[in-house]
């Protein structure tokens, strides 16, 4: 496989830098999206989400969960008090819904391409955070209308 040198994309020397900036931004929101999605799932399944649920779900320490929940509370996605359940704010619910929808579209698209269920589930966990709106819309079109006969 041959790769084009950095900066050789369509003659635009700024593209790689912009691409990496987007990737760094995506990484910054990745943890928040994963946590609000897990909180929403726990509430949906058990009626409540506690820190221990997230410790088990992510296989991390209580300190990690507490630090992350603190950041989510600071950013307005959750509300909680010490030793109390974690609740999503309206913004947290919206972020969880958006993340879940992206995840489902990506996973369904991978399955449509013939990827096994297990691999599609694992791969969609990472892809969902980095897929652009344009690519996500194209994936959704394929899922609803089928493959286009010619690329746009």
Confidence at 2, pLDDT banded by 50, 70, 90: very low
Give percent of the chain with pLDDT exceeding 90.
Answer: 68
State the pLDDT at residue 124.
92
Q: Which fold has domain 23-92?
A: Arc Repressor Mutant, subunit A (1.10.10)
Q: pLDDT tens digits, residue range 50-93?
A: 999 999 999 999 999 999 999 999 999 999 998 899 999 999 99
Q: pLDDT tens digits, residue range 100-122?
A: 999 999 999 999 999 999 999 99
pLDDT at residue 36 tops 90: yes
Q: What is the mean pLDDT of residues 129-139?
A: 90
DSSP type of residue 150? S
pTM of the predicted model as reported, rounded to 2 decimal places: 0.75
State the pLDDT at residue 25.
54
Q: How far apart are CA 69 and CA 50, in angstroms?
A: 11
Q: Do domains 23-92 and 97-144 have the same CATH topology?
A: no
Going from N- to C-terminal start, the domains of the chain cover 23-92, 97-144
CATH number of the 97-144 domain? 1.10.60.10
Distance, C-alpha 43 to centroid of its chain:
18
Contacts of 51 (CB under 8 A, 6+ apart): 62, 65, 66, 69, 86
Q: How far apart are CA 5 and CA 131, in angstroms?
A: 23
Q: Between 51-58 and 62-74, two packed helices, what is the crossing angle to 10 degrees?
A: 120
State the pLDDT at residue 96.
95
């Amino acid at each position: 496989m041959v790769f084009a040198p950095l900066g050789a994309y369509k003659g635009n020397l700024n593209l790689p830098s912009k691409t990496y900036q987007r990737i760094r931004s995506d990484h910054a929101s990745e943890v928040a999206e994963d946590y609000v999605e897990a909180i929403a799932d726990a509430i949906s399944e058990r009626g409540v989400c506690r820190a221990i649920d997230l410790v088990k779900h992510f296989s991390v320490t209580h300190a990690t969960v507490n630090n992350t929940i603190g950041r989510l509370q600071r950013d307005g996605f959750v509300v909680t008090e010490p030793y109390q359940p974690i609740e999503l704010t309206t913004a947290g619910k919206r972020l969880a819904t958006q993340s879940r929808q992206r995840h489902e579209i990506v996973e369904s698209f991978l399955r449509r391409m013939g990827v096994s269920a297990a691999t599609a589930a694992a791969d969609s966990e990472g892809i969902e955070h980095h897929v652009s709106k344009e690519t996500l819309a194209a994936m959704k079109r394929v899922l609803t209308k089928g493959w286009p006969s010619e690329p746009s």
